[in-house]
Chains A and B, each alone.
Chain A
Amino acid sequence: MLPNLVLYEEEYKLVTEVILRLVSEANAKVVFLVDKNGQLISSSGTTEGIDTTSLASLTAGNIAATGGLAKLIGEKEFTILFHEGEKDNIHISIIDHRVILVVIFDEKSSLGLVRLRVKKVGIELERIFKNINKKTKEASSGLGVDSPFAEITDDDIENLFS
Chain B
Amino acid sequence: MSFINYSSREINCKIVYYGPGLCGKTTNLQFIYRKTNPQARGKMISLATETDRTLFFDFLPLSLGDIRGFKTRFHLYTVPGQVFYDASRKLILKGVDGVVFVADSQMERMEANIESYENLRINLKEQGYDLDKLPLVLQWNKRDLPNVINTEELHKALNSRNVPAFEAVAPEGIGVFETLKAIAKLVLIELKRGTSG
Contact = CB atoms under 8 A, between A and B. Distances in A.
Contact of A160 (B72, B91, B95): B72
Interface in A75-93: none
Contacts of B88: 65, 68
B6 A9 contact: yes
B91 A65 contact: yes
Interface string A1-14: 11111111100110
A58 interface: yes
A64 B6 CA distance: 26
Contact of A139 (B3, B43, B185, B195): B195
Nearest to A40: B12
Contacts of A6: 3-4, 6
Contacts of B47: 61
B192 A150 contact: yes
B67 A37 contact: no
Counting chain B residues whose Cβ lies within 8 A of the other chain, the interface size class is: 35 or more
Contact of B95 (A37, A140, A142, A159): A37
A37 B4 CA distance: 13
B131 to A, nearest CB: 13
B121 to A, nearest CB: 15
A51 B59 CA distance: 13
Interface string B84-110: 000110111011000000000000000
Interface in B144-197: 181, 184-185, 188-189, 191-192, 194-197
Interface size class of A (residues with CB under 8 A): 35 or more
Given A148-B68, A151-B68, A157-B67, A1 B192 contact: no
A57 B67 contact: no
B36 interface: no
A114 B55 CA distance: 32
B67 A156 contact: yes
Interface string A96-134: 000000000000000000000000000000000000000
A37 B188 contact: no
Contacts of A3: 1
Contacts of B184: 160-161
Interface of A: 1-9, 12-13, 35-39, 41, 51, 53-54, 57-58, 61, 64-65, 67-68, 139-140, 142, 147-152, 154, 156-157, 159-161
